[in-house]
């Protein structure tokens, strides 16, 4: 029996390879790594830097450091979003 060109597993594998190649290679080896949605090391580092900026700004009463800390915290919050790499996708409300 011939297989149709509409194979959902093949489509899923292709989409996974294009969206997160590191995860797909790890799955091929049988040693899965964490998917991109759960890798937040840079976001945590940026959030720590924002906390330091904000804290120093509060201690020395410098509004520019406080504002910078808040802006950097907003940027770090954006990095925690799992859908940030797909600008055309909207989350369901």
Q: Give dist(CA 78, CA 75) in Å, integer.
A: 5
- Global model pTM greater than 0.85: no
Q: Give dist(CA 82, CA 66) in Å, integer.
A: 27
Domain boundaries of the chain, sorted by first residue: 9-37, 40-84
Q: Each residue of 10-67: pLDDT tens digit?
A: 888 888 788 878 778 877 777 766 665 666 788 889 999 999 999 999 999 999 999 9
Q: Tally the C-alpha atoms within 13 A of residue 32's C-alpha that lie toward its C-beta.
A: 5
Question: Degrees (nearest 5) of the Cα angle 17, 23, 29?
Answer: 100
């Amino acid at each position: 029996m011939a297989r149709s060109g509409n194979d959902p597993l093949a489509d899923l594998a292709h989409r996974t390879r294009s969206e997160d190649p590191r995860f797909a290679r790890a799955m091929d080896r049988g040693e899965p790594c964490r998917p991109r949605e759960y890798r937040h090391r840079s976001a945590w580092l940026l959030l720590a830097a924002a906390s330091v900026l904000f804290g120093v700004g509060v201690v020395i009463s410098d509004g520019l450091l406080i504002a910078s800390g808040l802006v950097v915290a907003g940027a770090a919050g954006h990095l925690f979003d799992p859908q940030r790499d797909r600008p055309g996708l909207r989350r369901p409300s």
